[in-house]
Amino acid sequence: MKESSLRRRIFADRAFQALVALLSFCAILPMFFILFFITKNGIAVINWNFLTRLPAPVGETGGGIANGIIGSGLLIVLSSVIAVPVGVLTGIYLAEHRKGKFAYLSRLSVEILMGIPSIVIGIIAYIWVVMPTGSFSAISGGVALGIMMLPVIVMSTEETLKLIPDSLKEASLALGVSYPRTILKVILPAGLNGIVTGVLLSVARVTGETAPLLFTAFGSPFMAVNILKPVSALPLTVFNYATSPYPEWHALAWGASFVLLVFVLALNLTAKLGLRKWKVQF
Amino acid sequence: MESPVLRIENFCAGFDSNQVLKDINLSILRNKITAVMGPSGCGKTTLIRCINRMHELIPNANVSGKILLDEQNIFDLDPIIVRRKIGMVFQRPNPFPTMSIYDNVIAGYNLNGIRISKGDKDRIVEESLKKAALWDEVKDALHRKGTFLSGGQQQRLCIARALAMDPEILLLDEPTSALDPKSTAHIEELVVHLKDAVTIIQVTHNIPQAARISDFTAFIYLGELVEFGPTEKLFTVPKDKRTEEYLTGKFG
Amino acid sequence: MIQPIEGGAGQTPARAKTRDKTMTQTKAETAQAHYRPGFTLSEAAFRKILYLAGISVLVLLIAIFLSLLIASLPSIKALGISFLTGRTWDPVTLKFGALPFLVGTLITSFLALLISTFFSIPISIFLGYYYREGKASSFVKTVIELLAGIPSVIYGFWGLFFFVPIIRFIETALGVPPYGVGILASSLILAIMIIPYSASLGREVISLVPNDLKEAALSLGATRFEVIRKVILPYARSGIFAGILLSLGRALGETMAVTMLIGNSNFLPTSIFSPANTMASVIANEFTEATGAVYLSSLIELALLLFVVTTIINIIGKIIIIKTSFEA
């Protein structure tokens, strides 16, 4: 082989590796831009009043996002109540039935649910809850977010339980422990770490969702805790104020974005890093 | 003459159309150690998994014939009751990873929702761990996780867990196959001691082990019970040619 | 019904060396009397509950489809195929031609896909081959995962204040109307948003390429670049494609960021700078104001369309993944 061709190949190799590294680096840049932008603009408006007061009318300064925080909390509780029990049970079902046509259909449904655009879920909650009750409400928002949480919880529960060795189940059954107790008291505790991770990730997923809330929870400038009335939510606050023409409201939107971003990223990081530490060893 | 605690009559078992065990007849005597030996895949593990009805947990499993525990067919009983009367220890130690040593031993009670006083629990844990010859090693660490123990200790913990339920029969499915020689010796010694308290049926493919510890030996080959008798007799004057060939290492 | 029988611990230590049948029975009977039932759930009931949970996701999916279909019927009946081919969307005159939104959705999504592929494939190679372990790798991986976790509305907000001025500047320089918002802005933000989806699947398939294949090529004197080109990419091709397909599914249905950046124009876009609307953004903008049965129903028909298209894309992507994982 000729020396020059070898040199060219080595050069191509190095150049390609540099290009890959460069493009990868560029792709993660937006993360830092976003963090920088949101933090710079957001932190300036964050103070105790901002977190505890209701929004101020146009022209006045010093309003807060308390309604959004409370509303988001309420929506998370409602959607978790709907999605966690069904999601965990479905996950158990799929982990216990690895083969079979029915389990396959069920698994496929979960994957399709995962891919449905959030705006479509919003319309479904509108058709199912808002139309019959005749009013936008926290509960309709909870249904929408619950449907979005469901597949995440199912998948993480199934994945976690699949990794638990069968010998554990046999140990319990051989002690004369019934099947329900074996699942609930031996298998679930052994997989608790993964299930909690899944729930946290699903909460992180829906906390930032705006589209499904536009015509369900709808938004409200008041401190609302009635689940049959419209409520605000942090992402709705961001959307409404960010797209308004008033600079005071933009400030509110930056602050709300910062709070939302910190919450969602912290939840993601906790789920991915923090929970590894107390993972069950087999 | 001692009465048999367990009688297996015309027993067949398998999966789908694949028959693993063919027409087994066997009587297990109380407070004796019965070894079940045979080459891999001969059906010996299936046999003891049938005795506490673990076999039927596998989809498409089937059984026919009778297994009588104290003259009562176990297939007429609830499997859960059968499993409480007939304990089992598996090839690989499988302590519950989320539980402490203490909770592992008492798990049969806690998981079954059987409520007993703290004093009784303490006593059962201590007795069971003593029977399993583990008490001295773990008495100061009862509330540590069971998974921190060595493999041999974990296996003795599993034996203690089974003994805590006060079973009539203890099934050991090659309990030393995943252990080092020293732990194996320890477990063998323990098993011999235990027979005063409980009837033991142990599966092994280790011929010397069967000879060392058992009172009776059953030799299973290709799903058939080839020979069954007192261990000494079976090892010295085997009646069947296949037994002789197996013992002399011609196959398996 | 399952009943635990071992209740009285009192008998436990008193195990006689020789027991007869009658003794055992007495023991069982007394034990039963001691048993206090706590929470009991029969196996059959428990299995039924699990089965119902398993079926619930399928029922949910079918219910979603049927609800959308039924709610779309007024629009399907009134408009028929003209819904998909009509170029005019004017609620005042009851003209509902969704073609501008279909075109807007396709252009923004494919443009975003094009841009994101330039970055997602290098990331897949970076994480799946060059740096499979170590600090650099876990840092990049974590950041990518966090990018996937940033709420859409925050991308949109950031895009408004970051991309829009830049694009407005470019537009002024090029002499086109300086809207700022429009297809380009939406596609850029969409591209960033979908990178994590195709990158994570790409990384997985690339790291699944068997080591002996790579080593065989290296031992023949191939450079790492040649290994990537001749061994890894051919091997991982269909998996990478599946990742891109799944990220397309994301892009098509992405709503908030696009709604904030696309400029909301109900006319057919004429260039990548023009404002437009996607199916998702028009729903977000007009749904709460939609008065009249056909208007509301036609928006729901758009949702039905989105649902069907993303479902088909996801199923195809899934099939490709299953096929490749069987080959591997």
The residue of C65, C118, C120, C158 whose CB has the most chain A CBs within 10 angstroms, and thus the best one to mutate to test that interface, is C158
Name the phi and psi angles at C6, rounded to 5.
-85, 105
Positive or negative, the Cα torsion across B243, B245, B250, B251? negative
C11 Rama sector, left if φ>0, alpha if ψ -120 to 50, beta otherwise: alpha
Q: Is the pLDDT of residue C7 over 60?
A: no
Residue A222 burial (10 A CB sphere; 0-12, 13-18, 19+): middle
Among the partner-chain residues C42, C161, C307, the one whose CB lies closest to the CB of A116 is: C307
Residue A109 burial (10 A CB sphere; 0-12, 13-18, 19+): buried
Residues C260-270, mean pLDDT to the nearest whole number: 93
- Chain A partners within 8 Å of C225 (Cβ): 9, 12-13, 16-17
* A33-37, C41-45, C46-50, C209-213: range with lowest mean pLDDT: C41-45
A206 contacts A188 by C-beta, under 8 angstroms: no
Among the partner-chain residues C118, C140, C225, the one whose CB lies closest to the CB of A13 is: C225
Q: pLDDT per residue over C131-157, tens digit each?
A: 988 898 999 999 999 999 999 999 999
- Chain A partners within 8 Å of B60 (Cβ): none
pLDDT of residue C9: 36
Domain assignments of chain A as residue spans, ordered by start: 67-233+267-281
Strands B33-37 and B199-204, how do they pair?
Answer: parallel
pLDDT of residue C29: 36
Closest CA to A140 of A86, A199, A214: A214
C interface with B, Cβ–Cβ below 8 Å: 2-7, 9-13, 15, 17-21, 24-25, 35-40
Directed axis angle between helix A66-96 and helix C43-79, to 10°?
A: 120
The overall average pLDDT reported for chain A is 92
- Chain B partners within 8 Å of A185 (Cβ): 110-111
Task: For B126, name the nearest residue in chain C, comparing CA atoms only.
Answer: C13
CA distance A60 to A221: 15
Quote the minimal CA–CA distance from B38 to chain C in Å.
30
C75 contacts C301 by C-beta, under 8 angstroms: yes
CA distance B36 to B46: 11
In Å, what is the CA distance from B32 to each residue of B199, B243, C13, C168?
Answer: 5, 22, 19, 91
Q: What residues pair up with A213 in beta bridges, in sequence order?
A: none
Q: pLDDT per residue over C143-199, tens digit each?
A: 999 999 999 999 999 999 999 999 999 999 999 999 999 999 999 999 999 999 999
**Sequence-separated (6 or more) residues with CB below 8 Å from residue B100:** B142, B143, B144, B145, B146
SS3 category, A47: coil
Strands B169-173 and B4-15, how do they pair?
Answer: unpaired
Q: Is the pLDDT of residue C19 over 90?
A: no
Among the partner-chain residues A34, A116, A214, the one whose CB lies closest to the CB of C284 is: A214
Architecture of domain C103-290: Orthogonal Bundle (1.10)
Q: Does 1.10.3720.10 match the CATH number of domain A67-233+267-281?
A: yes
Give the count of alpha carbons within 13 A of C83, CB side only: 21
User: Is the CB of C162 less than 8 angstroms away from the CB of A33?
Assistant: yes
Q: What angle do CA C246, C250, C251 make, to 5 degrees?
A: 115
Q: pLDDT per residue over B200-209, tens digit each?
A: 999 998 899 9
In this prediction, residue C35 has a pLDDT band, given cuts at 50, 70 and 90, of very low
Among the partner-chain residues B87, B111, B165, the one whose CB lies closest to the CB of A185 is: B111
SS3 category, A38: helix
User: Is the CB of C46 less than 8 angstroms away from the CB of A179?
Assistant: yes
Higher pLDDT, C256 or B177: C256
Quote the minimal CA–CA distance from C51 to chain B in Å.
16
pLDDT of residue A281: 66
CA distance C170 to C179: 11
What is the token pair recorded at B120? 């009784």
User: Is the CB of B114 less than 8 angstroms away from the CB of C24?
Assistant: no
Among the partner-chain residues C153, C195, C253, the one whose CB lies closest to the CB of A238 is: C153
**Interface membership of B120 toward C (CB under 8 Å):** yes
Task: For A186, name the nearest residue in chain B, comparing CA atoms only.
Answer: B96
C226 contacts C217 by C-beta, under 8 angstroms: yes
CA distance B11 to B55: 13
Q: What angle do CA C196, C199, C203 make, to 5 degrees?
A: 135
Q: What is the rounded (10 degree) CA torsion for C174, C179, C185, C187?
A: -90
Domain assignments of chain C as residue spans, ordered by start: 103-290
User: Is the CB of A181 less than 8 angstroms away from the CB of B112?
Assistant: yes
Quote the minimal CA–CA distance from B57 to chain C in Å.
13
Residues C322-328, mean pLDDT to the nearest whole number: 71
Q: Is the pLDDT of residue A279 over 50?
A: yes
- Chain C partners within 8 Å of B109 (Cβ): 6, 9
Query: Scanning the structure block, which residue is given the tokens 């906790």?
Result: A270
Q: Is the pLDDT of residue A32 over 70?
A: yes
In this prediction, residue A224 has a pLDDT band, given cuts at 50, 70 and 90, of confident
R_g (Cα) of chain A, nearest Å? 24
User: Is the CB of C20 less than 8 angstroms away from the CB of B3?
Assistant: yes
Q: What residues pair up with B87 in beta bridges, in sequence order?
A: B170
Q: Is the pLDDT of residue C27 over 50?
A: no
Name the phi and psi angles at B69, rounded to 5.
-105, 115
Closest CA to A232 of A116, A84, A63, A117: A63
Quote the minimal CA–CA distance from A45 to chain C in Å.
16
pLDDT of residue C328: 54
Among the partner-chain residues C5, C12, C37, the one whose CB lies closest to the CB of B81 is: C5
CA distance C6 to C279: 64
In this prediction, residue C327 has a pLDDT band, given cuts at 50, 70 and 90, of low
pLDDT of residue C291: 87
CA distance A234 to A249: 14
B11 contacts B25 by C-beta, under 8 angstroms: yes
Task: For A181, name the nearest residue in chain B, comparing CA atoms only.
Answer: B111
* A32-46, A193-207, B77-91, C25-39: range with lowest mean pLDDT: C25-39
Q: Cα–chain-centroid distance for residue A177?
A: 36
Q: Is the pLDDT of residue A34 over 60?
A: yes
A272 contacts C142 by C-beta, under 8 angstroms: yes
In this prediction, residue C40 has a pLDDT band, given cuts at 50, 70 and 90, of low
pTM of the prediction?
0.89
Quote the minimal CA–CA distance from A147 to chain B in Å.
31
pLDDT of residue C279: 96
Residues A64-90, mean pLDDT to the nearest whole number: 96
Please name the chains neighbouring A, where neighbouring means 3+ C-beta pairs under 8 angstroms.
B, C
Q: Is the pLDDT of residue B78 over 60?
A: yes
**Interface membership of A196 toward B (CB under 8 Å):** no
Q: pLDDT per residue over B149-188, tens digit each?
A: 999 999 999 999 999 999 999 999 999 988 899 999 999 9
The overall average pLDDT reported for chain C is 86
Higher pLDDT, A75 or A1: A75
The overall average pLDDT reported for chain B is 91
Pick from A247-256, A259-268, C28-37 the range whose average pLDDT is largest.
Answer: A259-268
What is the token pair recorded at B40? 């891999």
Q: Is the pLDDT of residue A223 over 60?
A: yes
DSSP one-letter string for chain B: -PPEEEEEEEEEEEETTEEEEEEEEEEEETT-EEEEE-STTSSHHHHHHHHTT-GGGSTTEEEEEEEEETTEEGGGS-HHHHHHHEEEE-SS----TTSBHHHHHTHHHHHHT----HHHHHHHHHHHHHHTT-HHHHTT-TTSBGGGS-HHHHHHHHHHHHHHT--SEEEEESTTTTS-HHHHHHHHHHHHHHTTTSEEEEEES-HHHHHHH-SEEEEEETTEEEEEEEHHHHHHS-SSHHHHHHHTTS--
The residue of A173, A175, A183, A280 whose CB has the most chain B CBs within 10 angstroms, and thus the best one to mutate to test that interface, is A175
Please name the chains neighbouring B, where neighbouring means 3+ C-beta pairs under 8 angstroms.
A, C
Q: Is the pLDDT of residue C117 over 70?
A: yes
Q: pLDDT per residue over C233-251, tens digit each?
A: 999 999 999 999 999 999 9
In this prediction, residue A4 has a pLDDT band, given cuts at 50, 70 and 90, of confident
Amino acid at B121: K
Positive or negative, the Cα torsion across A75, A81, A86, A88? positive
B19 contacts B226 by C-beta, under 8 angstroms: no
Q: pLDDT per residue over A98-113, tens digit each?
A: 888 899 999 999 999 9
DSSP code at position A216: T
Task: For C32, name the nearest residue in chain B, comparing CA atoms only.
Answer: B114
pLDDT of residue A275: 67
**Interface membership of B165 toward C (CB under 8 Å):** yes
Closest CA to B3 of B32, B24, B23, B25: B32
User: Is the CB of B158 less than 8 angstroms away from the CB of A171?
Assistant: yes
> How many DSSP H helices and E strands does chain C contain?
13, 2
Among the partner-chain residues B92, B108, B145, the one whose CB lies closest to the CB of A167 is: B92
Q: Is the pLDDT of residue C34 over 80?
A: no
Among the partner-chain residues C54, C149, C158, the one whose CB lies closest to the CB of A268 is: C149
pLDDT of residue A282: 64
Query: Scanning the structure block, which residue is given the tokens 């058709």?
Result: A127
CA distance A256 to A30: 20
